[in-house]
């Protein structure tokens, strides 16, 4: 059957091509002619441009005003040359334009007027990803052939004609073009975290197809298999593995190839040892089958290597079985709750879809996988395995000890929810990292246990450790579509296979889940779609700890955003500036941000990113963070755009500032005092330039810190003397002064301070040179 687009389109095609040829400044050399036909025009139809669905979360958002494309827009003061959509508004399910009609009957889609799924499908417009023809399936008189529905885009399939002819539409270019804006931005984003993956030879395996109902409400699943085996090697710029103290603790890791997939259910069972959970799992097993949850559960559970400090697995067996193990639990799928909430076909990555049978479907079959992705995954797996093997021994196992939880007054969630989140903030952990009056950064990384300054190794190596680096581009920059949190509420009860709902309501489950560690939650997320959504509730993830996670991947970033943590610990990671900036701009509710041990290059993202609710900022031991950088950090936004008239400091609401180990002077303290009126907790330990004059500055008349400071840590500040205690007498709210290991502070001086203060505010010596208010 000769199918083509309307005459208008044919007309446009020739006209526009001619115009394009005329307007093109310089015909690209090397092509056969000045006018290069789009690759997909080689087939029978011109492609219809897709447009926003206007329903998905992304479409409903407003422009962020911060991203590269927003900044280009005229309304944000840019030149308007790029003409791209805000990256936060990239439609996840771009649809055919309203003007699209069936090339056979010349009519639009009619699915809205029909009742049954079958009718809906037969009368909806379907665009073939190979020949680009848009037809009603019903208008095709091909009785024995099957179209293969592409779940990645609404109204997209491989038409029966092409499918029957064995054509493949999976050339990388075609794939890219077909994926619509949800994919475009990822690869078009400058310096993107989300860049498109290098295409690999495709494979013609489309044998695993399942039928699909045409219901556009259904959100497709897919697997970003290309992300499966990505672990950035930890290399120094010289290519040498970065030595890390934990190396010797690291377990041998094995990277799963595709077998990992088959292994999932097995591992899932292993995780379900608990009898009740096992029973429940068996009950809801059919929900998996019915609900098409495989991809979703799986992908989500794999997207983020959240770690639990209380659930460290020590045995190799456990390590292998732990789906959260970064090396094993490498991302299989993109994830997001939008799967549940997006009104239309959802986004995708390079991976194909993995779907269960959803009921009878005439003609159309659903691809189980996009065939090229499996091959792609294998190829990547091989390459990355080799790479990872090289650096495997250098990767650090997450073997931190559980430390006391951070006192988080601003966190609304019960503390027990955070049992997984350890507190890296105990500065003692890092105290030995720096020589008191020097700038040695030895031992900057990875202390296994809290130490006291007395344990400080002053004979540490003199060479400065290589600062954290971002993963190599090829690993880091995978294409990955980020979707916003869902709008639709998760179900209140768990559907069971007999059609009934489980007796326990969601909130009861939430209480149970709140006792689980993050790895355990991730396991639960693989059980079924309902649990997947429940376990992703941000109440369970108010604190996300990626401390010392050796590589921050796009999947992890999307996982973080999905969970919208209040507290995010990225300390001692190699997060890049772009990643951090991208992240911060999408975490409007972030209150605690820990970037201890990161590089200034990364932390400088705070200079341009907006984080209005930030209350706690931990930048201790940030390499390269000195007065000049502190000035950048505390200065008002310099890129004010129309509508952005706020000239106040971006960090003006910070109450808890951790600056341990920084080479900052009074210059920075002046700025801090001026720009952070709410500052109550200040950690200046191991700041070797801090002296009595610094304390004088912080407590001087007219400064906000004089009244706002409640807790100051000056431990191991050897230039601070007893004289500073006189300055603290004028602090109205001071409750704790930590002067431990300050060589020039004496016990006598502390006792004198206590005696003099006893008239108004009773203090005690909690430890040697650690003064604490008694009431």
Q: Taking the CA atoms of 618, 622, 624 and 627 in sequence, report the sign of the dihedral they define.
A: positive
Strands (E), 383-441: none
Q: What is the four-CA torsion angle of 530, 535, 539, 542, rounded to 10 degrees?
A: -150
SS3 per residue for 201-231: CCCCCCCCEEECCCCCCCCCCCCCHHHCCCC
Q: How far is the CB of 53 from DNA (least distance, A)?
A: 10
Quick check: 106 binds DNA (CB under 7 A)? no
Q: Quick one: which of 48, 223, 251, 563 contacts DNA (CB under 7 A)?
A: 48
201 contacts DNA (rule: CB under 7 A) = no
In whole angstroms, the minimum distance from the beta carbon of 565 to DNA comes to 27
DSSP secondary structure string for all residues of 582-619: HHHTT-TT--EEE-TT-BHHHHTHHHHS--TT--EEE-
Q: How far is the CB of 171 from DNA (least distance, A)?
A: 12
Q: Does the footprint of DNA cover residue 320 (CB under 7 A)?
A: no
Instruction: Name the residue among 300, 289, 353 with its Cα closest to residue 331.
Output: 300
DSSP letter at 719 equals: B
Q: Is 230 in the site for DNA (CB under 7 A)?
A: no
Q: Among residues 583, 619, 615, 592, which one has the least CA distance to residue 603?
A: 619
Among 43, 66, 67, 84, the residue binding DNA under the rule CB under 7 A is 84
Q: Does 141 bind DNA (CB under 7 A)?
A: no
The label of the residue with tokens 């080689």 reads 42
614 belongs to the binding site for DNA (CB under 7 A): no
Among 66, 117, 152, 196, binds DNA (CB under 7 A): 196
Query: Which stretch, 71-79, 274-282, 515-523, 604-612, contacts DNA (CB under 7 A)?
Result: 71-79
26 touching DNA, by CB under 7 A: yes
Dihedral sign from CA coordinates of 37, 42, 44, 45? negative
- Taking the complex as a whole, the smallest distance from the CB of residue 133 to DNA amounts, in Å, to 14
Give the DSSP letter of residue 652. Answer: T
The single residue among 164, 167, 198, 502 that binds DNA, judged by CB under 7 A, is 198
- For position 609 contacting DNA by CB under 7 A, the verdict is no
Name the residue nearer to DNA (CB basis): 12 or 277: 12
Structure token digits, residue 225: 């298999």
Asked whether position 38 contacts DNA by CB under 7 A, the answer is: yes
Q: Which of 20, 310, 504, 678 binds DNA (CB under 7 A)?
A: 20
Residue 230: CB minimum distance to DNA, A:
14
CB of 629 to DNA, least distance (A): 24
Nearer Cβ to DNA, position 431 or 601?
Answer: 601
**What is the contact mask toward DNA in residues 159 to 188, using x (rule: CB under 7 A)?**
-----------------xx--xx--xx-xx
User: Which tokens go with 20?
Assistant: 């394009």
Mapped onto helix, strand or coil, the DSSP state of residue 381 is helix
DSSP string over 487-503: SSPPPSEEE-TTS-EEE
- Asked whether position 53 contacts DNA by CB under 7 A, the answer is no
Residue 187 or 356: the one with the smaller Cβ distance to DNA is 187
Applying CB under 7 A, does 91 fall inside the site for DNA? yes
How many residues in the shown chain lie near DNA by CB under 7 A?
Answer: 59
Looking at beta carbons only, is 349 or 571 nearer to DNA? 349
CA 745 – CA 722 distance, rounded (Å): 5
Residue with Cβ nearer DNA (37 or 678): 37
Task: Tell me if 436 sits within 8 A of 416, measured CB to CB.
Answer: no
Q: Does 60 bind DNA (CB under 7 A)?
A: no
Verify binding: residue 665, DNA, rule CB under 7 A: no
CA dist., res. 318 & res. 253, Å (int): 11
Binding residue for DNA (CB under 7 A) from 45, 52, 350, 444? 52
- Determine phi and psi for 545, rounding to 5 degrees: -115, 110
Helix (H) or strand (E) holding 569: strand 567-569
Can you give the binding site for DNA, defined by CB under 7 A?
Answer: 12, 16, 19-20, 23-28, 31, 36-38, 40, 47-52, 54, 63, 68, 72-75, 79, 81-86, 89-91, 94, 97-99, 176-177, 180-181, 184-185, 187-192, 195-196, 198, 473, 477
């Amino acid at each position: 059957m000769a199918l083509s687009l309307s005459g208008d389109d044919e007309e446009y095609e020739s006209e526009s091509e001619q115009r394009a040829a005329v307007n093109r400044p310089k015909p690209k050399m090397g092509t056969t002619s000045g006018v290069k036909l789009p690759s997909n025009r080689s087939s029978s139809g011109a492609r219809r441009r897709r447009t926003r669905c206007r329903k998905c979360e992304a479409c409903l958002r407003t422009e962020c005003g911060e991203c590269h494309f927003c900044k280009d827009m005229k309304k944000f003061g840019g030149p308007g040359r790029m003409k791209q959509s805000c990256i936060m508004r990239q439609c996840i399910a771009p649809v055919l334009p309203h003007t699209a009609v069936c090339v056979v009957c010349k009519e639009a889609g009619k699915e809205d007027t029909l009742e049954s799924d079958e009718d809906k499908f037969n009368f909806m417009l379907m665009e073939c990803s190979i020949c680009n023809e848009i037809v009603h399936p019903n208008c095709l008189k091909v009785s024995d052939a099957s179209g293969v529905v592409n779940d990645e885009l609404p109204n997209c399939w491989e038409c029966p004609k092409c499918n029957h002819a064995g054509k493949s539409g999976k050339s990388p270019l075609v794939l890219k073009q077909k994926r619509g804006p949800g994919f475009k931005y990822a690869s078009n984003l400058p310096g993107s975290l989300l860049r498109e993956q290098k295409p690999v030879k495709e494979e013609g395996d489309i044998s695993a197809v399942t039928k699909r109902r045409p219901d556009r409400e259904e959100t497709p699943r897919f697997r970003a298999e290309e992300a499966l085996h990505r672990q950035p090697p930890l290399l120094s710029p010289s290519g040498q593995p970065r030595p890390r103290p934990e190396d010797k603790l690291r377990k041998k890791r094995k990277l799963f190839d595709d077998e990992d997939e088959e292994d999932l259910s097995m591992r899932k069972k292993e995780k379900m040892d608990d009898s009740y959970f096992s029973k429940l799992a068996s009950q809801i097993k059919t929900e998996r089958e019915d609900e098409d949850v495989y991809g979703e559960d799986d992908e989500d559970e794999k997207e983020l290597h959240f770690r639990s400090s209380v659930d460290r697995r020590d045995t190799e067996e456990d390590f292998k079985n732990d789906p959260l193990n970064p090396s094993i639990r490498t991302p299989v799928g993109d994830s997001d709750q939008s799967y549940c909430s997006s009104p239309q076909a959802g986004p995708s990555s390079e991976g194909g879809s993995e779907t269960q049978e959803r009921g009878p479907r005439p003609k159309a079959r659903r691809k189980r996988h996009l065939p090229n992705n499996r091959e792609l995954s294998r190829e990547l797996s091989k390459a990355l395995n080799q790479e990872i093997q090289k650096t495997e021994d250098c990767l650090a196992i997450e073997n931190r000890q559980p430390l006391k939880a951070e006192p988080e007054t601003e966190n609304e969630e019960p503390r027990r929810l955070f049992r997984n989140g350890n507190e890296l903030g105990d500065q003692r952990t890092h105290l030995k990292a720096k020589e008191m009056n020097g700038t040695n950064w030895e031992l900057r990384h990875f202390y296994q246990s809290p130490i006291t300054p007395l344990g400080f190794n002053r004979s540490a190596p003199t060479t400065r450790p290589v600062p954290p680096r971002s993963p190599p581009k090829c690993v880091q920059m995978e294409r990955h579509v980020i979707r916003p949190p869902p709008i639709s509420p998760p179900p209140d009860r768990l559907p069971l296979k007999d059609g009934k709902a489980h007796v326990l309501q969601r909130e009861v489950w939430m209480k149970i889940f709140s006792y689980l560690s993050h790895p355990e939650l991730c396991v639960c997320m693989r059980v079924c779609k309902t649990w997947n959504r429940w376990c992703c509730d941000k109440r369970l993830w108010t604190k996300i700890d990626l401390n010392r996670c050796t590589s921050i991947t796009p999947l992890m970033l999307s996982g973080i955003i999905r969970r919208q943590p209040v507290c995010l610990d990225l300390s001692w990671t190699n997060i890049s500036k772009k990643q951090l900036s991208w992240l911060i701009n999408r975490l409007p509710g972030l209150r605690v941000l820990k970037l201890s041990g990161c590089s200034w290059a990364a932390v400088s993202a705070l200079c341009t990113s907006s984080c209005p609710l930030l209350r706690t900022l931990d930048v201790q031991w940030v390499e390269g963070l000195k007065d000049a950088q502190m000035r950048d950090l505390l200065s008002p936004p310099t890129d004010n755009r129309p509508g952005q008239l706020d000239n106040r400091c971006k960090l003006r609401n910070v109450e808890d500032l951790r600056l341990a180990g920084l080479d900052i002077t009074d210059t920075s303290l002046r700025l801090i005092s001026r720009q952070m009126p709410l500052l109550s907790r200040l950690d200046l330990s191991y700041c070797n330039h801090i002296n009595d004059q610094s304390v004088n500055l912080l407590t001087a008349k007219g400064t906000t810190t004089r009244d706002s400071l409640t807790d100051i840590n000056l431990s191991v500040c050897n230039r601070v003397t007893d004289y500073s205690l006189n300055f603290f007498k004028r602090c109205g709210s001071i409750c704790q002064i930590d002067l431990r290991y300050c060589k020039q502070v004496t016990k006598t001086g502390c006792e004198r301070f206590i005696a003099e203060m006893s008239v108004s505010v009773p203090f005690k010596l909690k430890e040697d040179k650690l003064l604490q208010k008694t009431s």
